[in-house]
Amino acid sequence: MNRPDTAAAGPSPALREELRSLAVELALSAGALVRDGRQAALAGGGGIDTKSTPTDVVTVMDRASEEHLRERISRLRPQDAVLGEETGGQGSREGITWVVDPIDGTVNYLYGRSDYTVSVAAVVGDPLTAGAWHPVAGAVARPETGEVWHAHLGGGAAVQGPWGEKTLTVNTVTDVGLSLLATGFAYDAGMRREQAQALVTLLPAVRDIRRGGSAALDLCAVAAGEVDAYAERGVHIWDIAAGQLIAAEAGAHIATWHSGPERPQGLLAASPGIAVQLGSLLATAYGSGEPTPA
């Protein structure tokens, strides 16, 4: 779903704008909840549980934030479905599904690092099937700085903060060897091994790598030109739904790749001038096919 893809069936421009505005409000209100509740929730080392692996944590505030988002959405848009990182959901194939990550960057949150976000997207299509959905509006809030990145399909992307609002545009880099690449790592040890092996090819071929800990924020960094690209294997829809729209609306090329039907898909968001070069590099690094436009 790259920038010109506004013809896709779905909500009207006016509704997309309304959904964007609601996504901003939801991300900011959940963000305030998790920021203000952190100290009490994690006091004395409590408030923490684990999920897929011992390093895949969930805090009581992830759950409280998702509950808050679900409650607000069901009150304001009862006709829509919700799919969230902590309590799942089926989504809606016909209507709008709100895809929410109540805290993206939970490990940063746990350690008191500022790079965690709340990600809220309105998507159409089947959110449970890779490649069968696309976001039409979204917002990513970073509660510790008061910033919120937002976009709706066909409407461009912007970030607002205590200092005002700025339109977002990706970088114009054309040499992958001079590009700054953001990435992330899965919680599963096997997937991490594969990601580490891919870095052996990627790291010498780019300017440098950044690992921030929030995929949503990495995608906003692509949109803002703070990195030139983001690529990660094994991401979930809630990590990327809002951020990929924001990056695409800022002019990024969005593509997906995977090395086999049983493997989780990878997402690439890149400044257009390096998208093809980086796609080939990723295919070599992961021993997979070239990424295909999302």
- As a whole number of angstroms, the distance between CA 17 and CA 101 comes to 21
Q: Which stretch binds ligand IPD (CB under 6 A): 125-133, 166-174, 211-219, 249-257?
A: 211-219
Query: Which of 27, 64, 139, 215 lies at the binding interface for ligand IPD (CB under 6 A)?
Result: 215
User: By CB under 6 A, is residue 144 in contact with ligand IPD?
Assistant: no
The SS3 of residue 279 is helix
Give the nearest residue (CB) to ligand IPD: 184
User: Quick one: 2 or 117, whose CB is closer to ligand IPD?
Assistant: 117
| Helix or strand run (H / E) with residue 253 | strand 253-257
Residue choice 91, 125, 184, 266 for contact with ligand IPD (CB under 6 A): 184
| Minimum distance, C-beta of residue 94 to ligand IPD, in the bound complex (Å) | 28
Instruction: Give CA separation, 93 vs 80, 97, 125, in Å.
Output: 10, 8, 5
Residue 14, Cβ density class (10 Å: 0-12 exposed, 13-18 middle, ≥19 buried): exposed
Between 97 and 117, whose beta carbon lies closer to ligand IPD?
117
- Are 132 and 237 a contacting pair, CB within 8 Å? no
User: Which position among 26, 219, 235, 245 is part of the footprint of ligand IPD (CB under 6 A)?
Assistant: 235
Minimum distance from CB of 269 to ligand IPD (Å)? 13
- Phi first, then psi: what are they for 168, rounded to 5°? -105, 135
Cβ count near 19 (within 10 Å): 26
Least Å distance, CB 187 to ligand IPD, is: 7
Measured CA distances, 192 to 186, 207, 247, 259 (Å): 6, 22, 25, 15
Per-residue contact string for residues 255-294; x = within reach of ligand IPD by CB under 6 A? ----------------------------------------
Q: Where are the alpha helices (DSSP H) in 52-130?
A: 60-76, 106-110
How many residues of this chain interact with ligand IPD, rule: CB under 6 A? 14
148 lines the binding site for ligand IPD (CB under 6 A): no
Name residue 157's beta-bridge partners.
151
Is residue 238 within 8 Å of 101, Cβ to Cβ? yes
Q: Which is nearer to ligand IPD, 173 or 235 (CB)?
A: 235
Toward ligand IPD, which CB reaches closer, 56 or 80? 56
**Residue 101 contacts ligand IPD per CB under 6 A:** yes
Least separation, in Å, of the C-beta of 287 and ligand IPD? Answer: 20
Q: Which residues bind ligand IPD (CB under 6 A)?
A: 85, 101, 104-106, 184-186, 213-215, 232, 235, 239
